[in-house]
Chain A
Amino acid sequence: MSLGLNAAGIRADARRERATLAALTAPAFLILGALLFVPVGWLFWLSIHGDNGYTLENYTRMVVEPAYASVFVTTFELSLLVTALAVLLGYPLSYMIALLPPRAASACLTLVLVPFWTALLVRTYAWLVLLQRHGVVNSLLMNWGLIDQPLALVYNFTGTVIGMLHIMIPFLVLPLYANMRAIDRDYVRAAASLGASPTAAFWRVYLPLSMPGLAAGTVMVFVICLGFYVTPQFLGGGRVTTISMKIQENVATYFDWGAASSLGVVLLVITVAVFWGFSRLLPLRRLTEVSGS
């Protein structure tokens, strides 16, 4: 009898405990709800609602008008190229840091973090100064006699890629290095002692072991690239229009909320799809754990 009462009491306690824990998350989700979920939901409603009720014209326009197609192509070209270059340059850098003794490794990691912590607009400004027609890079190259005419390094696609790459490399290196540091070097030694050449040991043992970190970094870089706005705005010189810039233009220049919202919804769907696709390959929890470290 008393045992039964006790069990009921414990259950009531556990319920109260769960309610308290849920209540602790309430302020955060109130803020997220009011400032993210409601506004984004509202924009979605605007995108399918015209003057005469529901409509899909905002979405069909994206397919029909070539101007939109070129915005999508530009955004994807830019994102793919920057992601590929970030992997090509970020992988060797992470590998190098992983081979260094602890002190040197932490010094290198600090250097990688310097641009990571520097304000976005400061870095954008720095690239404008460096890459301009009479900027630092062109002056140096001409002084050394490597070129006769200044190269068009900025206010175009090239400048945008350089600026974005500079921002994205740390995003690749951080999860990748966290992964590489955890790799047991004995696996590589075992491969070598079994007769694998260093090249084979790298490609068949080390690279697969570093895959989770590489995948997490790659998907993060690609997804962030898809939403870029500030860098192409300043370094693209009007020659590079990304989806985000088109959204801004639709709102600020044409006050066309339907067009802006529908583009935003498509961008969000693509972003979530890329994440979801990757999380099927490796658990998303793992992904956030790696990126959070």
Chain B
Amino acid sequence: MTEDHVPARARLWLFVLGGLVIFFLVVPVLIVIPISFSDSTLLEFPPRTYSLRWYRALLESLEWRDAAWMSVKVAVLTTIVATPVGTAAAYGLHVGGFRLAGVLRLLVLAPLLVPVILTAIGIFYLYALLGLNNTLAGLVLAHTMLALPFVVLSVAAGLRSYDMAQERVARSLGAHWFRAFRSVTLPQIRLPVLSGALLAFIASFDEVIVAFFISGGEMATLPRKMFSALRDQIEPTIAAISTILVVLSVTTVAVVELTRQQKRQG
């Protein structure tokens, strides 16, 4: 009998099953890495000979480079717009007091609840009327809308564990509310704001379905281009892109995790 009253046998089974589930979650993501270094057009595993030909193909392809650049632009702009807008909304809703605040707190989560395909065709229809399909502004606006709940949820969680009295003290000493917010509150909710910004970036960078409808040709984002490429053929060029994206996401997780641990120790 162990301290937590889980018998050794049950514990063993639990750890075997848990380990297998983690294996199921992690290994498929990593499998694209060796395949991207294969020398063959076949998707063999393990590859018989290794080479960098798929990375070379990727670098030489103007289409892939354009798509990657497009995605970076859209995601950066989305982050720049969604972070302050979402933070302001989270702050306003948190301090609240005005009528409708309760309803608005639920409505701001709507982009998570409405099926993405419905959002996508709705925006496509609207943009067709406004001439915003296949434009950078259109993509950034749509992605900002989709990213807002992530920023709001993250900042709201930060504000809940923050003591508002500090800001009231600053204001009672004569600081204008914006000054009080900027120099007292904001520094203390810095991490939730940053993680909201990171989530906004990822939400935009990974977004497939809305981009599928409202971007194409030269304005195609990376996921949009991958979507078409996957439909046509599943050659290792995509494995090379996937490897780059996996390395990026693993780095992100590691950095976030390390910051969190440092914060806990500090």
Which A residues fall within an 8 A CB radius of B? 14, 17-25, 27-29, 31-32, 34-40, 42-43, 46, 89-90, 92-93, 95-97, 99, 106, 108, 110-115, 117-130, 132, 134-136, 139, 166, 169-170, 185, 188-189, 191-192, 198, 201-202, 223, 226-227, 229-230, 234, 243-244, 247-248, 251, 257, 260-261, 264-265, 267-268, 271-272, 275, 284, 288-289, 291-293
Contacts and interface: CB of A to CB of B under 8 A. Distances in A.
A271 B115 contact: yes
B153 A229 contact: no
Which of B11, B35, B85, B227: most chain A Cβ within 10 A?
Answer: B85
Nearest to A242: B117
A27 B116 contact: no
Given A128-B234, A292-B156, A92 B17 contact: yes
B29 A126 contact: yes
A201 B234 contact: no
B163 to A, nearest CB: 18
Nearest to A191: B5
Interface residues of B, number: 94
Contacts of B15: 96
A230 B157 contact: no
Contacts of B101: 22
A121 B32 CA distance: 12
B261 interface: yes
Contacts of A37: 110
B14 A169 contact: no
A126 B122 contact: no
A264 B123 CA distance: 13
B148 A99 contact: no
A32 B108 contact: yes
Nearest to B209: A229
Nearest to A285: B105
Given A20-B177, A110-B254, A126-B29, A120 B21 contact: no
Contact of A248 (B1, B117, B231, B254): B117
Contacts of B95: 21
